[in-house]
Amino acid sequence: MSTENKKFQVVVKNLPYHTSWQKLKDLFNQTCPVEHADVVKKGNSTVGILTFSSEDKVNEAVITYDNFSWEGKEIKVYKAGEEEEEEPIQVNSTSLYVGNLPFTYGWQELKDLFRSTKGEVVHADVFKDYQGRSKGYGIVQMKSVEDAVRAIEDLNGFEIEGRKLEVREDRNSSKEGCQLHVGNLLFEERWQSLKEHFSKAGNVVHADIVLDSSGRSKGFGTVLMSTPEEATKAIEMFNNTDFNGRVIQVKLDKFAGDSRNNNYNYRSGRSGYNNRGGYNNNRGKPYRGGRGGYNNSNRSPQRTIDVQVGNIPFSTRWKELKELVEKLGLNPSFTDVAIEGSRAMGYGIVSFKTEEALS
């Protein structure tokens, strides 16, 4: 490539992954005639290189199309040789957080969207409130880290129904030593005040009040700090201290795992899964009921504390889940693994008769 040609080129980044050179050329030809267009794959991203007839055309292309919204992505246009160095996306998990979803989206739409990146989707879910309405965010489990990186490259910032998606690694998938269980909260407490209080100890990634099936607080919650050191500091600062008139108990959350196969999430509230076909005392599906504990169909339902366990291996059965929980020194009254047809769905339920049994 000659030096002269390079002067009249632009580099286009943040393109939709499957952009072709023809589509890119057609876009720029609308205002700046393109002499040559090419598209190359760099890792999991797509980069365009366009050649123009003069420096004026290059400047016009940069001014016209930099930060231009195209097919759901905000593209970046640089003069050749002046493009910003991009930090490679570092992903250590196959679990992705998807924020700012349209409220019309359910798990099927979310799964179909991520399949469009040509990666394999293992599981997708949209978080819901106790009335079954979408909270506007969800979790997608890809088959490989490479698939997860490609999905971030292709869909982060992608616009759907006027909303720009936020796609990133699920921070809850690597939270060992960072997540705290906060007990003896006021039943009127909200996650906002909990987050504000714990911010005195460091950066709070996420705070939640755990709710029952009717949307009422269970009197405890979780706080996810940025680092284990900040979590330790929060315990030292707040355990057995007064918070809005109650002495709270703060300790590490034993259900915060250190890998994709040990990712525990509270079922209710802002931090946990609220999956399609979730635990239901009346129907018992997709949980088969009566395995590993009581059977609701034969007696009056007991008021229990339910914890949903996400991202468990598909080979896991209720006995293995029960044994895993018991190894943590806990005493579950019921365990089960969600089944759809004959296939495991990758999550389960663990119930405790009292909050003390959970502690």
**What are the residue boundaries of the structural domains of the chain, listed by start?**
3-79, 95-169, 172-256, 273-359
Least confident residue range of 84-98, 155-169, 273-287: 273-287
Q: Where are the beta strands (DSSP E) in 114-192?
A: 121-128, 134-142, 159-160, 163-164, 166-169, 179-183
Distance CA 137, CA 124 (A): 11
What CATH homologous superfamily does 273-359 map to? RRM (RNA recognition motif) domain (3.30.70.330)
Distance CA 298, CA 340 (A): 23
Looking at the domain covering 95-169, what would its CATH class be?
Answer: alpha beta
pLDDT digits (tens, 9 = 90+) for 52-86: 999 999 999 999 998 888 887 888 898 887 766 55
Cis peptide before 301 (omega within 30 of 0): no
Q: Note the CATH number of domain 172-256.
A: 3.30.70.330
pLDDT digits (tens, 9 = 90+) for 206-225: 788 887 767 788 889 888 88
Distance CA 35, CA 41 (A): 21
Can you give the pTM of this predicted structure? 0.37
Confidence of residue 93 (pLDDT cuts 50, 70, 90): confident
User: pLDDT at residue 357 above 80?
Assistant: no
3-state secondary structure at position 208: strand
3-state helix, strand, coil split of the chain in percent (to 5) is 25, 35, 40
Percent of the chain topping pLDDT 90 = 20
DSSP run (H or E) holding 47: strand 45-51
Q: What is the pLDDT of residue 304?
A: 60
For residue 218, the one-letter residue type is: K
Do 3-79 and 273-359 fold alike per CATH?
yes
Distance CA 281, CA 302 (A): 10
Cα–Cα distances in Å, from 213 out to 55, 66, 129, 218, 325? 64, 48, 9, 10, 23
What contacts 24+ positions apart, CB below 8 Å, involve 34-39? 35/8, 39/15
Please, what is the Cα angle at 165 between 49 and 32, to 5 degrees?
30
- Indicate if the alpha-carbon torsion angle 196, 199, 201, 207 is positive or negative: positive
Q: Note the CATH number of domain 3-79.
A: 3.30.70.330
